[in-house]
């Protein structure tokens, strides 16, 4: 089957810093690198490297042609990425010596994806395909509604978090993934625990503590793999992309979570975003 990803595409500029700066503080970076990024692009690359067929739906400006070419080189189908008359999205990422990060995002073309591009893409989708979205683009509710009507399996990664945006798509979802803080915020807004949400499968990621899966058989916990992190940027996206790729290959959820956990653990030992996401052979050979 195919994973259709309505997703962001960013030019990421990553600065290594001694610590995340306080308000008013000026720091000199110790290194600067540029990467393909954006939660959407990261997930597409992760799923493609996990051997899934991935069709990315998005937009860039004329300054983003290299980003599209890099997606293509990583095995992502880019035929549904529009080039529009605005600048591509950019992210400034600060990473400290413990691997923690702070990010400033300029959304650019990610918030101006033409609806005609979405409609043209999903016209080729087939019942049983996956549709995944994150909160870095426009057209999320439109896509979720279309996907549900077409018999697609609809997945949503609720980051960057917005209660209103999650609630707008909640009724169309088969799969929801969010972190512990986001789960708490959603519970405060809806009055529902993850187990009570009207979604078949909900995963709450817990960072170094692993993840909880709320599914048909209740709550199951999965431990994280202990590694020495150097950069946590993109780890959650890698987890999600791998998880969906495994599910697309009809792996049971528990097995998919374990594979995705290995991919995320390997990812945090590397500096960068989409360009350094491990491929399936690396994940299978990984022995922490």
Residue 37 assigned as binding residue:
no
Q: Is 63 a catalytic residue?
A: no
Residue 237 assigned as binding residue:
yes
Q: Is the dihedral of CA 61, 62, 67, 73 positive or negative?
A: positive
Residue 206 assigned as binding residue:
yes
Residue 7 assigned as binding residue:
no
Residue 262 assigned as binding residue:
no
Residue 146 assigned as binding residue:
no
Q: What are phi and psi of 127, to 5 degrees?
A: -50, 130
Residue 137 assigned as binding residue:
no
> Which is catalytic among the residues 77, 129, 201, 237?
237
Could you tell me the CA-to-CA distances from 194 to 24, 148, 163, 177, 253 in Å, in that order?
Answer: 38, 21, 14, 10, 17
Residue 241 assigned as binding residue:
no
How far apart are alpha carbons 176 and 256 in whole angstroms? Answer: 15
SS3 string, 58-112, reads EEECHHHHHHHHHHHHCCCEEEEEEECCCCCEEEEEEECCCCCEEEEEECHHHHC
Residue 275 assigned as binding residue:
no
Could you tell me the CA-to-CA distances from 33 to 102, 110, 231 in Å, in that order?
Answer: 15, 22, 13
Residue 205 assigned as binding residue:
yes
Binding-site residue numbers for K(+) are: 231, 233, 267, 270, 272
Annotated binding-site ranges for ATP: 179, 205-210, 236-237
Q: Which of the residues are catalytic? A: 237
Known binding-site residues equal 10-12, 38-42, 136, 179, 205-210, 231, 233, 236-237, 267, 270, 272
């Amino acid at each position: 089957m195919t994973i259709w990803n309505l997703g962001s595409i960013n030019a990421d500029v990553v600065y290594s810093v001694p610590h995340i700066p306080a308000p008013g503080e000026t720091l000199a970076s110790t290194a600067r690198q540029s990467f393909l990024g954006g939660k959407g692009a990261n997930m597409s690359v992760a799923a493609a490297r996990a051997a899934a067929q991935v069709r990315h739906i998005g937009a860039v400006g004329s300054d983003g042609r290299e980003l599209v070419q890099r997606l293509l080189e990583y095995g992502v189908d880019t035929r549904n990425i529009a080039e529009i008359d605005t600048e591509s999205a950019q992210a400034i990422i600060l990473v400290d010596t413990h691997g923690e990060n702070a990010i400033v995002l300029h959304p650019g073309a990610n918030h101006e994806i033409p609806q005609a591009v979405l409609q043209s893409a999903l016209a080729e989708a087939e019942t049983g395909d996956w549709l995944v979205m994150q909160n870095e683009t426009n057209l999320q509710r439109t896509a979720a509604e279309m996907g549900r009507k077409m018999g697609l399996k609809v997945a949503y990664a609720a980051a960057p978090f917005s209660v209103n945006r999650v609630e707008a798509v909640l009724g169309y979802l088969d799969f929801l993934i969010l972190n512990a803080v986001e789960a708490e915020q959603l519970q405060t807004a809806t009055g529902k625990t993850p187990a009570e949400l009207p979604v078949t499968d909900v995963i709450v990621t817990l960072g170094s503590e692993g993840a909880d899966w709320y599914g048909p058989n209740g709550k199951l916990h999965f431990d994280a793999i202990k590694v020495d992190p150097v950069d946590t940027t993109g780890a959650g996206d890698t987890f999600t992309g791998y998880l969906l790729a495994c599910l697309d290959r009809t792996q049971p959820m528990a097995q998919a979570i374990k594979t995705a956990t290995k991919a995320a653990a390997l990812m945090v030992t590397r500096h960068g975003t989409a360009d350094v996401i491990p491929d399936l052979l690396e994940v299978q050979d990984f022995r922490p």
